[in-house]
Amino acid sequence: MIITIIVFILILGLLIFVHEFGHFISAKKAGVKVEEFGFGFPPRLFSFKRGETVYSLNLFPIGGFVRLYGEERGEKAFGEKAFHNKAIWKRAIILVMGVVMNLFIAGVLLSFVHGIGIPSVVEEGSGLNYSNVQIQILEIAEESPASEADLRIGDSILYLSSNFDRVDVNDTEDVQKFVAAHAGEEIKIGIKRGKETLEKTIVPRLNPPAEEGAVGIAMAKTGLVSYPWYQAILKGFKSVGHLFVVMIQMFYLLIKTLILEGTMIGNVSGPVGIAVFTGQVVDLGLAYVLQFAAILSINLAILNLIPIPALDGGRLLFLLIEKIKGSPIKVKT
């Protein structure tokens, strides 16, 4: 539990730091005065000043901020170092660089994962060299025998046994045949979860719901595929582009379904859900943790592009309107 909390804080801390660093470095390059670069949310633990900027470390590590001179138009900020006095295109770059840096760090993380071994579904005849091959649970249906037996996503199936026979699992067909032969009977499933080997008791259903199966799991033969460093970098950043498009499509479907049907598609996890999932990927190994961090970073980038006033996307929208109008938007508070 303690390790999970530490990893959770380190991941979020890294992603937020990278995002705010994008705003910070682009503001410096544009000649805007950065009054404070803070990691974490107040109260402040300690700080120091270098040049015109205060660098602070704050008590709550899940957060961060960059305070720019003249960022709020209500401020009495004058001169060329004020944010609101810069050209619109310079302000747009400063605002969008947080998103760019989140996508960049996702590319770095996924490049490293492709180098050490990225989790992949084994494709027979692909010519790829797989290591750590296993039969892994990818989905678990709610209120199914698998759910009741506390099987979890990421568990590896090692063997199946009954009172009369036992099968060591080497392929998904081994599981399907054994379960079909013992539907309605109590069987044992040996699994590997992280460094632990566990045995669960389960009774496959005789008449399962459609598309769920007797046990209620979706599984696949998975392994780790590694690439030379020059291929790993290319594949890492290519994966970011693919995931970025897919996640935008998912956000669109989620919002569309919510507006038109008043329902949510899938499960949307908040901070607690993400923390729980962090614990699961920690058990699976470094490659899974880094891949998870990269996906969170892309997710953070997309969230910040949503045109809501408090987010970078909303502020970019205001800049676009200012460009069209030819004058700033006056916000009353």
List the one residue out of 213, 153, 140 whose CA is nearest residue 177: 213
Q: Alpha-carbon distance 38 to 49, whole Å?
A: 12
Question: Which among 20, 80, 139, 143 is annotated as catalytic?
Answer: 20
**CA atoms 117, 118, 119, 124: torsion sign:** negative
CB 158 within 8 Å of CB 152? no
List the one residue out of 164, 140, 143 whose CA is nearest residue 154: 140
Say what angle helices 88-116 and 286-305 make with each other, to 10 degrees: 160
Q: Alpha-carbon distance 113 to 120, whole Å?
A: 11
For residue 204, say if its preceding peptide bond is cis, omega within 30 degrees of 0: no
- Non-local CB neighbours of 124 within 8 Å, separated by 6+ positions: none
Q: Output Rg (C-alpha) for the chain, integer angstroms.
A: 25
Give the burial string for 37-73 (b: 16+ CB within 10 Å, else e). bbbbeeeeeeeeeeeebbbbebeebeebbbebbbbee
Q: Is 20 a catalytic residue?
A: yes
Q: Which residues are catalytic?
A: 20
